[in-house]
């Protein structure tokens, strides 16, 4: 049970959030209405996705105050809690890519991995900037016309239609294409949250004394470049690309990894 604690917690969180969104349409609940683009919590508190808001502003439309306030609330929340907690604790695509990743490990596909030299982890930041530029040129929020994240979420709330093919495409890409291809290399929303949360408080902390260098954490980690300190230094994972998913904490049998509040003192050293 110990080694799936955070995994279980994440799945419960993801399903609860999606179920509340689903209920808002199907049963008229006022807990969490709308979609990730813009939502209403408890029937009054506006929430909005900061990257979507930036795209709409870039397209040349001055948004209503509700949405701007919502984006501010979400940005502040993830700045404190951990930027990419959205990716691993909320985003429904995470379940698809986690499944692809798990199958990849079971089928031992990584041994045969082709070296996709052109696809770097920093590609997502280029795409993020490009999305804003394309929004400005075309006059429509550019990532929102193809975002598998909101397509999947709207699919769950309002019905999928042919949108399900986008979700399948992501699954196949991550399974047979590039390892962590979508979330780790392409998704501009994840890139935006990496930046937002780069100074966030909740962090995974490594205890180098306890580490036995089994490297289980690096195997399960979807962004394992952030775990460069394993078996080397006793410091926190401070990279914004860490999604705070907690899989490394789950799989560690040596008590060498745990969640903690980021210590800013360590940075000064």
Partner 1 sequence: MANSNNNRRKFMATTLQSVGLTALGGLLWSGYSDEVKASPLVLRPPGALPEDDFLKACIKCGLCAEACVNRNSNKNKDGSKRAGTLQMAKGGDHKLIGTPFFIPTEVPCFMCDDIPCVPVCPSGALDMPSLLNKEQELDINKARMGLAVVHKESCIAFWGIQCDACYRACPIQGEAITIEHQKNERTGKHAFMLPIVHSDVCTGCGLCELACVTEKPAIFVLPIEHSTGRAGDHYVKGWDEKDQQRVKNAKEIHTKDERSEKEATDYLNMGVEY
Q: What's the closest the beta carbon of residue 5 comes to partner 1, in angstroms? A: 33
Number of CB atoms found within 10 A of residue 1's CB? 5
Q: What's the closest the beta carbon of residue 15 comes to partner 1, in angstroms? A: 19
Q: Residues 56, 49: contact at Cβ < 8 Å?
A: no
Instruction: Please report whether residue 82 would count as binding partner 1 according to CB under 8 A.
Output: no
Give the range of 5-13, 125-133, 235-243, 256-264 binding partner 1 by CB under 8 A: 125-133
Question: What is the distance of C-alpha 245 from the center of its chain?
Answer: 9
> What track of x and - describes contact with partner 1 for positions 11 through 50 (by CB under 8 A)?
-------------xx-xx----xxx-xxxx-----x-x--
Residue choice 45, 64, 176, 212 for contact with partner 1 (CB under 8 A): 64
Question: What is the distance of C-alpha 236 from the center of its chain?
Answer: 19
Number of CB atoms found within 10 A of residue 233's CB? 10
Token look-up 């060498």 returns 256
Distances (CA, A) of 200 to 98, 165, 190, 194, 250: 24, 35, 15, 10, 21
Q: What's the closest the beta carbon of residue 172 comes to partner 1, in angstroms? A: 16
With respect to partner 1, which residue has the nearer C-beta, 145 or 261?
Answer: 145
Q: Residues 82, 244: contact at Cβ < 8 Å?
A: yes
Residues that bind partner 1 (CB under 8 A): 24-25, 27-28, 33-35, 37-40, 46, 48, 52-53, 56, 59-64, 66-67, 70, 118, 126-127, 130-131, 133-134, 137-142, 144-146, 150-151, 154-155, 157-166
């Amino acid at each position: 049970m110990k080694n799936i604690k955070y995994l279980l917690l994440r799945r419960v969180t993801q399903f609860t959030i999606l179920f509340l969104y689903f209920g808002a349409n199907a049963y008229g609940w006022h807990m969490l209405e709308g979609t990730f683009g813009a939502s209403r919590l408890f029937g009054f508190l506006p929430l909005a996705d900061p990257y979507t808001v930036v795209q709409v502003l870039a397209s040349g439309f001055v948004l209503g105050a509700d949405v701007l306030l919502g984006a501010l609330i979400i940005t502040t929340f993830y700045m404190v809690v951990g930027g990419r907690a959205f990716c691993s604790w909320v985003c429904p695509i995470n379940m698809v890519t986690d499944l692809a990743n798990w199958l990849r490990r079971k089928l031992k596909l990584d041994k045969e991995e082709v070296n996709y030299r052109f696809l770097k982890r920093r590609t997502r930041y280029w795409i993020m900037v490009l999305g804003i530029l394309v929004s400005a040129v075309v006059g429509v929020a550019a990532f929102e016309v193809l975002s598998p994240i909101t397509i999947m979420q709207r699919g769950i709330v309002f019905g999928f239609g042919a949108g399900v093919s986008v979700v399948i495409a992501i699954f196949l890409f991550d399974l047979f294409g590039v390892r962590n291809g979508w979330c780790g290399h392409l998704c501009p929303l994840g890139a935006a949250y990496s930046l937002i949360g780069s100074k966030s408080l909740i962090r995974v902390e490594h205890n180098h004394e306890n580490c036995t260098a089994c490297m289980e954490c690096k195997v399960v980690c979807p962004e394992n470049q952030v775990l460069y300190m394993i078996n080397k230094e006793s410091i926190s994972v401070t990279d914004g690309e860490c999604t705070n998913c907690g899989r490394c904490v789950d799989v560690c049998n040596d008590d060498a990894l745990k969640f903690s509040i980021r210590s800013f003192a360590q940075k000064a050293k």
